[in-house]
Chain A
Amino acid sequence: MTGLRYVYAVCRPFGTPLQAQLTGVGGDPPRLVPHRDLVAVVSHVPEADFAEESLRAHLEDLDWLTAVARAHQGVIDALTTVTTPLPLRLGTVFRDDSGVRSMIEAREENFLRGLDRLEGRVEWGVKVYLESEPEQAPERPAPQPAAMSGRDYLRRRREQTRSREDQWQRAETFATRLHANLAGFAEDSRLHAPQNPTLSGHRGRNVLNAAYLVPRGESEAFVEQVERTKDDSPGLRVELTGPWAAYSFAGEEAAGEEPAGGRTAGEGTT
C-alpha cells in the first residue's frame, strides 16, 4: 500500500523533466504516469487524508484546503513552464496507477480535444470592485448627532440610498461593457461567482469575476486592453490576475457549447 493517487493534470508527453525539488500535495513529488499518448501527473497521498469521508471533512478545514490548493497550483505552475497541462479539479483521487490509466483510456478523446483547445493559451482573471462609498464618511459618529432632526436624518438616509443605487448601476454598466469588450478579444470567457469580501479580504463589492482564455502571444495586448479601462469611473477598481493555466476552460464543454451564461454565471452579473 503506497497510498492513493492524487491527479493534478493530464498532458501530452513532454521531454523536459520537472524541477527536482518540486513537491506536491502532502509533500510528495509529482510523478508521471504515462499511458498511450498522454501523461497523468500524480502524487502519492495517504488514504487517511484522501479517502472520501476524510476528504469531505478536510474540505471544511481552511488550513488544509489552503495547503492542498497551493500545492496543486505549484505543480500546475511547474507544468505550464514545460507544456500545456489540462488541469483536473482539486481532489481527484484514484486508488492506484492502474486506476489512473483506466481513467485516461476512458477519456482519451476528450483529453486530446481539450489539450488541443488549450494549447498555447493562458487564462487571465479580471475582477471589478465597487469601492465602498468613497464620498461618505465611514461610520464614525456624526459631528453633531443631537442637532439633526428626524426629518434631516431621513432625508440624508434617502440621499445615501439613492447614491448607493446610482453607484451600483454605474458599476453594473461598467462591468457589463468591460466584459463584452474582453470577451470579444478573448477566445472564450467564463463568469465566476462574485467573491465574498470576507474571504478575499478586498474592500468593496465584487461586481465582476471573470476569466478569459487568451493565446499566450496575445496576452500583452489583452493586458493593455484591461489597462485601457482606466477611464473616468471613480469608485471602481479593476484587478487583473494571471496568467493562469486554463483552469476555468478545462471543463468538457468546447468553446461556444456552454449553455448561455455558463454554470456559475447566474450570480455573476446580477
Chain B
Amino acid sequence: MTVVERREIALVDLLDRLLAGGVVITGDITLRIADVDLVRIDLNALISSVNQNVPSPFEESP
C-alpha cells in the first residue's frame, strides 16, 4: 500500500468541501444550496460533462 501526499488539489476534493462543507447561509438572493444535495444531484451533470460515455454510477446502485 502506498500513501500519496500533497499533490495539486483535485477538483473533486475541493468540491467535497465547498459544496458539502462551509457555513450554510441563505444569502439575500441565491438558491438555498443547503437544500440541494449538490454532491449527489449535480455530480450527475458533472459526470456527464466530464465523460459523455460513462453512465452515472448512481444509477448502478439501488
Chain A residues with CB under 8 Å of chain B are 4, 7, 10, 50-52, 55-56, 59-62, 65-66, 69-70, 72-73, 86-95, 99, 103, 107, 110-111, 114, 123, 125, 190, 192-193, 195-201, 209, 211, 223, 226-227, 229-231, 233-241, 244, 247-252, 263-264
Decide: B9 and A73 in contact? CB cutoff 8 A. Answer: yes
With most chain B CB atoms within 10 A of its CB, the pick from A66, A198, A229 is: A198
Contact pick for B2, options A61, A73, A230, CB 8 Å: A230
A198 touches B51 (CB 8 A): yes
Contact (A230, B23) CB under 8 Å given A73-B18, A200-B10: no
**Cα A110 to Cα B23 with chains together (Å):** 10
Check A240 against B47 for contact (C-beta < 8 Å): no
Do B31 and A196 touch (CB < 8 A)?
no
Alpha-carbon separation in the docked complex, A199 to B54 (Å): 10
Known: A91-B33, A94-B28, A240-B3. A209 touches B16 (CB 8 A): yes
B residues within 8 A CB of A231?
A: 1
Write the nearest CB–CB distance from B60 to chain A, whole angstroms.
11
Number of A-B contacts (CB under 8 A): 175
- The distance in angstroms between the C-alpha atoms of A248 and B20, with both chains bound, is 7
CB pair B42–A99 under 8 Å, yes or no, is no
List chain B positions with a Cβ less than 8 A from chain A: 1-6, 9-25, 27-31, 33-34, 38-40, 42-43, 45-47, 49-51, 54, 57
A200: chain B residues at CB < 8 Å are 10, 12
Interface contact A237-B27, CB-CB below 8 Å? no
Contacts A92-B25, A237-B2 known; 10 new A-B pairs at CB < 8 A = A69-B14, A91-B30, A93-B29, A95-B29, A211-B21, A229-B1, A230-B2, A240-B3, A241-B9, A251-B23
Main secondary structure of the interface of A (DSSP, over half): mixed
Q: How far is the CA of A50 from the CA of B27 in the complex (A)?
A: 11
Q: In the complex, which residue of chain B has the Cβ closest to the Cβ of A231?
A: B1
- What residues on B are CB-neighbors of A114 within 8 Å? 23
A sample of 10 inter-chain contacts (CB < 8 A) reads: A70-B14, A73-B18, A89-B18, A107-B25, A114-B23, A199-B12, A211-B16, A240-B5, A249-B21, A264-B39
Bound CA–CA A90/B14 (angstroms):
10
Expressed in whole angstroms, the Cα–Cα distance for A87 and B21 within the complex equals: 8
Q: Chain B contacts of A250 at CB under 8 A?
A: 21-23
Contact of A196 among B14, B34, B43 (CB under 8 A): B43
A89→B47 CA distance, assembly (Å):
21
